Amino acid sequence: MGLLWRGEEMMIRRKPILSTLLYILLSTGSIAMLFPFVWMLSTSLKSDVQLYAWPPVWLPFPLQWDNYVKAFTQLPFGLWFGNTAVITMISVFGAVLSSPIVAYGFARYRARGRKLLFMIMISTMMIPWTVVMIPKFFLFSNIHWVNTFLPLTVPSFFGNAFYIFLLRQFFQTIPPDTEEAAKIDGAGVFGILWHVLLPVTVPVLVTVAIFQFDSSWNDFLQPLLYLNKQSLFTVSLGMNFFNGQFDVQWNYLMAVACVAMLPTIVLFFIGQKYFVQGIALTGMKG
């Protein structure tokens, strides 16, 4: 009995030590993760002289707030932010609209070859985007979609393998009895999906929206391929103008980057609760 009591006492003593070590490890990791953001904010407020000072200036003085004004007045970033917002909103709408429909089909319909089709779809996630980059460009060029927003928005309406996988996993955790009751009441397939399943799928849909927003908002390579007119540029393309032949205007570049980062951060904090729930719920059943 005494040995058992001593063992429990040692375990109780070890828990605070392990918790402390865990907090130290997480704090160290968070500092490493925040380092680029601190450097970005600091650089956006530096003068041209302070950019290349050694040792590096972490707290610039005086703060060059006019870097933000100059960055946004030198180039039409207002227009480019608007273009980026339009592309992103349409892409998010397309992903949230199409992915649940495909996922519901994989989760509920028992058609022959369903599992094979699902495996083929999942396997497309392993194909690097650079492999299909040139074929997609020729396809969109042949149908005269280059220099339009269509190549950046229309594909999202055909679903995404990762989003479909997340939603399918969640649909499989929902008992079919709820759908049977809706069928008795006369609801069709889309009625069941809209009125029964989607209301309880909000956490996963928010997760899909956040992922798609982040992907579209920060995309650089696809706009670089399909957009040649300056009036159609996105923020990512516009920021490349600060990268000169012999010099990089780091303070202006980081000023625009700080502003461009805000929508993603705000969206994540607004949907953080649903995002965590969505990731947790999709792993409940294989």
Q: Are residues 159 and 31 in the same domain?
A: no
Contact by Cβ (8 Å): 161, 122: yes
d(CA 124, CA 105): 18
Does residue 191 lie in a domain region?
yes
d(CA 87, CA 190): 27
Does residue 269 lie in a domain region?
yes
The residue segments making up the domain with residue 96 are 74-281
d(CA 280, CA 139): 38
Task: Please give the structure tokens belonging to residue 129.
Answer: 């985007």
Q: What is the pLDDT of residues 86-114, one digit of tens each?
A: 999 999 999 999 999 898 888 888 878 88
Does residue 63 lie in a domain region?
no
Which pLDDT belongs to residue 4? 47
Q: Are residues 95 and 18 in the same domain?
A: no
Does residue 177 lie in a domain region?
yes
Q: Are residues 31 and 128 in the same domain?
A: no
Does residue 65 lie in a domain region?
no
The phi, psi pair for 248, rounded to 5°, reads -120, 125
Q: What is the pLDDT of residues 181-198, one digit of tens each?
A: 777 767 777 777 777 778
Q: What is the pLDDT of residues 45-57, one digit of tens each?
A: 888 888 888 887 7
Q: What angle do CA 84, 88, 93 make, to 5 degrees?
A: 155
Q: Are residues 82 and 196 in the same domain?
A: yes
Q: Are residues 154 and 209 in the same domain?
A: yes
CATH code where residue 134 lies: 1.10.3720.10
Q: Say which residues have a Cβ less than 8 Å from residue 34's Cβ, sequence separation at least 6.
A: none
- Which has more pLDDT, 241 or 155? 155
**What DSSP line would sit under 210-237, residue for residue?**
HHHHHHHHT--HHHHHH--SGGG--HHH
Hey, is 248 helix, strand or coil?
A: strand
Q: Are residues 269 and 129 in the same domain?
A: yes
Q: Are residues 23 and 136 in the same domain?
A: no
Helix, strand, coil % (nearest 5) of the chain? 75, 0, 20
How many independent structural domains does the chain possess? 2
Q: Which of 15-24, 203-212, 276-285 has the lowest mean pLDDT?
A: 276-285
Does residue 180 lie in a domain region?
yes
Does residue 57 lie in a domain region?
no
What letter would DSSP give residue 196?
I
Which pLDDT belongs to residue 163? 92
Q: Are residues 196 and 236 in the same domain?
A: yes
Does residue 215 lie in a domain region?
yes
Does the pTM of the predicted model rise above 0.85?
Answer: no
Q: Are residues 154 and 15 in the same domain?
A: no
Which pLDDT belongs to residue 286? 44
Q: Are residues 182 and 258 in the same domain?
A: yes
Q: Are residues 38 and 87 in the same domain?
A: no
Q: Are residues 133 and 238 in the same domain?
A: yes
Which pLDDT belongs to residue 285? 47
| C-alpha pair distances (Å), 95 with each of 36, 48, 85, 89 | 30, 43, 15, 10
d(CA 235, CA 259): 10
Task: Please give the structure tokens belonging to residue 128.
Answer: 């690097």
